Amino acid sequence: MTIALVIDDNRATADALVQMLEVLGLTARTAYGSSAAMGVLAAMTPELILLDINMPGVDGFEVLGYLQREPRLLDVPVIVISSEDQRENLDRAKKGGARAWVTKPATLDALEDALKKAGILEEF
C-alpha cells in the first residue's frame, strides 16, 4: 500500500486530500505546513508527496529543493497542489522534480489523473 504525505498549511485542504487519497486506495498522513513537513520527512520516507506551493515561511518550491538535495527522498514522486496555475510556476515545479500539478480546489478525478501521471496508479 502506498503511503503518501500531504503537505499543506490549510488543514481543511490537507484533510480533504487525505480523504480523497484514501478513496483511491492509498494511505496518507498530513503535515500542516513546511516546518511540520521537515519533521515528518526526517522520520519517514513517504512513497508519494502532495505538496502545496503557497505556504508561509518556507514555500513549496523550497521544499522541492530540499527533496532534490536529499538522496533518500530524491525519487519520491511529488504532485503539486496549488490554487495557482501560472505557466512559470508549473515550469518551475517541473524543474524542481514535480511529476504532476493539480489546481485547487482539487477534485477526485483531477487527483486520480495526477496519480496516474505520476506513476502511482495504473491507467486502464
Q: List average pLDDT for each run of 10 residues in the chain, which is 124 residues long.
A: 91 97 96 96 96 95 96 96 90 95 96 95 77
**Displacement of CA 108 from its chain's centroid (Å):** 15
Q: How many CB atoms lie within 10 A of CB 17?
A: 25
At residue 109's C-alpha, the angle toward residues 104 and 115, to 5°, is 85
Which residues, other chains included, contact 114 with Cβ-Cβ below 8 Å and sequence gap of 6+?
79, 100, 101, 102
Is pTM beyond 0.85? Reply is yes
- Cell numbers that stand for 20 in this block: 480523497
What is residue 124's predicted lDDT score, i.e. its pLDDT? 60
